[in-house]
Amino acid sequence: MNNQHQTVISSAAGRAPKVLITGASGFVGSHLTDYALANGYAPCAGVRASSSRAYLQDPRIHFIDLPLADAGRLTETLRQCKAEHGVFDYVIHAAGIISAERSQFDRINFGFTRNLADALIGAGMTPKKFIYISSLSAFGPGDGLSQRPIGHDDTPRPNTAYGQSKLKAEKYLFSLPASFPFIILRPTGIYGPRDRGYLTYIKMVNNGLVPFLGRRPQYITFIHVRDLAKATFAACVSPLSRRAYFVADNEVYTTREYAEIIRQQLGKRRLFSVSFPLWFVKAVFYSTDRLYSWFGRTPASLNIDKYNILCARSWICDTVPLRTDLHFSPDYRLDEALREVIESYRQDGWLKN
């Protein structure tokens, strides 16, 4: 599979285009940085001083500690960066949280995005393109009966605090002056090496037992993290602006098909399943969430938002605009790429044979 063929538009005097990647130490951000290096960009990794740099070892990577929580300090930091190193050609904002106390989603996913956009404008560092890594969750699930793909003209109905914070950030970008060029990407479930998001489920399949929720099938979609990186840099160099795209690999799976693919890649002979009615699952999740709320906390897994995600019957989205506008086609198929993911889990010691 070849995913290193994205055309790079060079900057003045033939220098490598400079790209700021926030959240570069994370799963998505580190792969974006890898892609930038492999395709002739000069990446600047926006990471906190305390963040791990395990996946950011290439000496060509520059680093900057961005105080995203403080708009004033952030503007001054960018002004100093501009004076010392010049402007960024592109900014990819991948920093954010997917699991936290509910109050933190709005503060970080929305607040940091607002602060960064405002600071870039205030520091005179408006890039050629600002790419915001949003989420399919900003629109919420699709129609579980018709299985009609979620479309860009549909009314967003995020059913989680995470999705609501992402939608709020999107709306803020659209409220900015037309002189601020951006593209919003809304990836579906992102998988690939370094990710722990699907690790628990893969461990369950590895142990030979997997739960299914509800009687009707749940339809899910995916995007490999390297394909997301490919789409992101296609958005950077695209002449289009102030648009949003759903990002998926064009394939649709039921949860049972997904479990079977994992079983095959793990080399397991058989898989036992247990089905739980949604009313039972809802009772467990809501009760746990309420119990934790008495102590001012939100459980990491058994919470209301997690139930809303798991009970939704359709996460199918319309990727035609992505394919036509950005000329995107995926390089990775789930049934093939999961083998590499599983092997990486084993190498990292996250999954036993």
Q: Which tens digits make up the pLDDT trace of 147-197?
A: 899 999 999 999 999 999 999 999 999 999 999 999 999 999 999 999 988
**Contact status, residue 318 vs residue 152, Cβ threshold 8 Å:** yes
pTM: 0.93
pLDDT at site 289: 80
Residue 330's pLDDT band (cuts 50, 70, 90) = very high
pLDDT at site 9: 46
| Cα–Cα dist 155/133, whole Å | 20
DSSP state of 23: T
Q: Which two tokens stand for residue 63?
A: 């680093």
Closest to 278 in 3D by CA, of 255, 316, 308, 314: 308
Q: What is the pLDDT of residues 276-312, one digit of tens each?
A: 999 998 999 889 888 877 877 776 677 888 888 888 9
Q: What is the pLDDT of residues 120-152, one digit of tens each?
A: 999 999 999 999 999 999 999 999 888 899 999
Q: What is the pLDDT of residues 226-253, one digit of tens each?
A: 999 999 999 999 999 999 999 999 999 9
CA neighbours closer than 13 Å in the CB half-sphere of residue 327: 10
Domain range 15-200+218-256+315-346, its CATH number among 3.40.1280.10, 3.20.20.60, 3.90.550.10, 3.40.50.720: 3.40.50.720
| Cα–Cα dist 339/347, whole Å | 12
DSSP string, 185-201: EEE-EEE-TT--TTHHH
Residue 2's pLDDT band (cuts 50, 70, 90) = very low
pLDDT at site 12: 47
pLDDT at site 14: 66
SS (H, E, C) 57-91: CCCCCEEECCCCCCHHHHHHHHHHHHHHHCCCCEE
**Contact status, residue 191 vs residue 197, Cβ threshold 8 Å:** yes
pLDDT above 70: residue 6:
no
CA angle in degrees (0–180, nearest 5) for 132-173-197: 30
